[in-house]
Amino acid sequence: MISIELFTDGRYKSIPVICGPTASGKSSMALSLCQETEGELCSMDSMQIYRGMDIGTAKPTIEEQGSVPHHLIDLIEPTENFSAARYKTAALGCIQDCLSRGVLPVFCGGTGQYASALAQGINYMPIEVDPAVSSRLLSEAGEKGYEALHNELMQVDPESAAKIHPNNRKRVLRALEIYRQTGNTMTYYNEKSLEDGPQYPFSLFAIEWDRDILYQRMDMRVDQMLEAGLLDEVKRLRLMGLTSANTSMQAIGYKELFCFLEGHVTYEDAVSAIKQKTRNYGKRQLTWFRNMGAVTWVNPEDISVIREKIQV
What pLDDT, in 10s, does the model give residues 182-203? 999 999 988 989 898 999 999 9
Mean pLDDT computed over 71-97: 96
Mean pLDDT computed over 109-128: 91
CATH of the domain at 144: 1.10.20.140
Q: What is the pLDDT of residues 41-70, one digit of tens each?
A: 999 999 999 999 999 999 999 999 999 999
Q: What is the mean pLDDT of the chain?
A: 94
Report the predicted TM-score, pTM, of the whole model to 2 decimal places.
Answer: 0.89
DSSP 3-state of 218: helix
Distance CA 86, CA 195 (A): 19
Residues 242 and 160 in one domain: no
Q: Is the pLDDT of residue 28 over 80?
A: yes
DSSP 3-state of 275: helix
Domain of residue 155 covers: 131-193
User: What is the percent of the chain where pLDDT is above 70?
Assistant: 100
Distance CA 148, CA 155 (A): 11
The answer for residues whose C-beta is within 8 angstroms of residue 312's C-beta and 6 or more apart is 5, 10, 11, 12, 13
Q: Is the pLDDT of residue 244 over 90?
A: no
Mean pLDDT computed over 176-185: 93
Mean pLDDT computed over 85-107: 97
The predicted pLDDT at position 300 comes to: 87
Q: Which own/partner contact pairs does 62-70 have at CB distance under 8 Å and 24+ positions apart?
A: 64/27, 64/31, 67/31, 67/35, 68/31, 68/34, 68/35, 68/39, 68/40, 68/41, 69/40, 69/41, 70/40, 70/41, 70/42, 70/43
DSSP 3-state of 75: coil
Look up residue 248 and give its DSSP letter: G
Residues 281 and 300 in one domain: no
Residues 202 and 59 in one domain: yes
Residues 160 and 80 in one domain: no
Residues 115 and 14 in one domain: yes
Residues 25 and 60 in one domain: yes
Residues 97 and 242 in one domain: no
Residues 91 and 203 in one domain: yes
- Strands 202-207 and 15-19 turn out to be parallel
- 298 phi and psi, to 5 degrees? -125, 155
Q: Is the pLDDT of residue 126 over 80?
A: no
Beta bridge partners of 213: none
The confidence band for 6, taking pLDDT boundaries of 50, 70 and 90, is confident
The confidence band for 221, taking pLDDT boundaries of 50, 70 and 90, is very high
Distance of CA 296 to the CA centre of its chain: 19
Residues 111 and 165 in one domain: no
Residues 302 and 159 in one domain: no
Residues 49 and 71 in one domain: yes
Q: Is the pLDDT of residue 268 over 90?
A: yes
The predicted pLDDT at position 254 comes to: 97
Residues 96 and 82 in one domain: yes
The predicted pLDDT at position 207 comes to: 95
The confidence band for 283, taking pLDDT boundaries of 50, 70 and 90, is very high
Beta bridge partners of 42: 71, 107
Q: Number of structural domains, the chain?
A: 3
